[in-house]
Amino acid sequence: MVPEHVTKLARLGARVEVETGLGVQSGRLDEAYAAAGAIVNPERATLIGSADVILQVRKPSLDEVAMMRSGTVLACYLDPFQSPELIKYLASRGVSAISMELIPRTTRAQKMDALSSQASLAGYVAVVLAAEQSDKIFPMMMTPAGTIMPAKVFVIGAGVAGLQAIATAKRLGAKVDAYDSRSVVEEQVRSLGARFVKIDVGETGQTKDGYAKALTEEQIQLQRESMKKVCADSDVVITAAQVFGRRAPILVTTEMLDAMRPGSVVVDLAVESGGNVEGVVPDQIMDRRGVKIVGIANLAGRVPAHASQVYSANTTALIEEFWDRDAKRLVLRLDDEIIRGCLVTHEGKIVNEKLAASFS
């Protein structure tokens, strides 16, 4: 939450309390929150135990859930499919938990789509990190000593993060290739100035929310064989392929890494869900036979000022959409398509059907 959005919520009639030091890492001091109308409180347990609505980024610990009152609304990244114990405990405590990852990708919910806003930042940071780790410059240069050819960047996965990575690499002057199992994104890739790598793996597609569908093992093997050639010719490879609710597919194998030139860089944007690169280690930059493998998690967090700005806008939009201005409180309208999509637990039950079925 950033101060300008504290002001918005205060105008709605909400009593906003923030934890001491909330915005320090993003360049926002406690004084700014107080000036915006928030109460700055150093007691985390008191804040959690007294709140009607709790907004945070990462999922809470079980100890923190134990502090929450029945009927509290919690909105954050819950990683619901990988957190069965947490989800069950939230339900048992009577907490109404909203998973920000499950906000529907509809026009009306676009302003609340935290997954997309953070992914866009992560795609940008991935390219900046790659440029920092590379032993080459990205743009073509004409110099008295000769012509420096542009770096070759290969982006695997053209979702929100991948498209931003393509755009950023092009702005830096690189020659960009991109691949996605969804042929429907070819036009978007080409509109950004990149070449779309075509690999025939048979029938593919995307979910109603725009996520790539999981491929069969045979399709993945066909992908790898074709991508190996492109990787071998690339100076930078950025992977951004994820299947929501499942482990990220391994797309860059050790065999593909062996084919790459020393000095090449691979950035794995899917490291938090298992990684697209074989052998990637979370929060480490590894050197494998001269090829650097970057597995830094939470890349959006490396630009905290803007990551906070957009996440704050997303959560504020969620509150505004379901705020009862007469009663001055948040009302979860269970018949609303947005709430149906993102509400995970409510009134002692797991209300998301997919989660309920997988945890039973």
- For the stretch 284-327, pLDDT in tens is 999 999 999 999 999 999 999 999 999 999 999 999 999 999 99
Beta-bridge mates of residue 295: none
Look at residue 223 in the predicted model and tell me its pLDDT. Answer: 81
Is residue 96 scored above 80 in pLDDT? Answer: yes
Domains of the chain and any CATH numbers: 3-102+303-350 (3.40.50.720), 120-302 (3.40.50.720)
Catalytic annotation present for 110: yes
Q: Strands (DSSP E) along 139-207, which ranges?
A: 141-143, 146-148, 152-156, 175-179, 195-196
In 3D space, the residue among 213, 207, 260 whose CA is nearest the CA of residue 235 turns out to be 260
Catalytic residue (one of 99, 116, 273, 312) = 116
Catalytic residue (one of 26, 79, 206, 211) = 211
Residue 15: φ, ψ to 5°:
-90, 110
pLDDT tens column, 225-251: 889 999 999 999 999 988 777 889 899
Lowest mean pLDDT of 58-62, 313-317, 356-360, name the range.
356-360
pLDDT mean across residues, the chain: 94
Catalytic residue (one of 105, 171, 247, 340) = 105
The predicted model gives 181-208 an average pLDDT of 83
Is residue 207 scored above 70 in pLDDT? Answer: no
Catalytic annotation present for 116: yes
pLDDT tens column, 3-12: 999 999 999 9
pLDDT tens column, 119-153: 999 999 999 999 999 999 999 999 999 999 999 99
Catalytic annotation present for 99: no
Catalytic residue (one of 82, 83, 110, 183) = 110
Residue 217: which pLDDT band, with cuts at 50, 70 and 90? confident
How is the chain split among helix, strand and coil, in percent rounded to 5?
Answer: 40, 20, 40
Catalytic annotation present for 219: no
Look at residue 214 in the predicted model and tell me its pLDDT. Answer: 67
Give the β-pairing of 141-143 and 146-148.
antiparallel
Residue 213: which pLDDT band, with cuts at 50, 70 and 90? low
Contacts of residues 76-84 at CB distance under 8 Å and 24 or more positions apart, as own/partner, are 76/100, 77/101, 77/114, 78/344, 80/245, 80/344, 80/352, 80/355, 81/245, 81/246, 81/355, 81/358, 83/59, 84/358, 84/359
In 3D space, the residue among 6, 7, 73 whose CA is nearest the CA of residue 333 turns out to be 73
**Cα atoms found within 13 Å of the Cα of residue 183, Cβ hemisphere only:** 7
Separation between Cα atoms, residue 17 and residue 179, nearest integer Å: 45
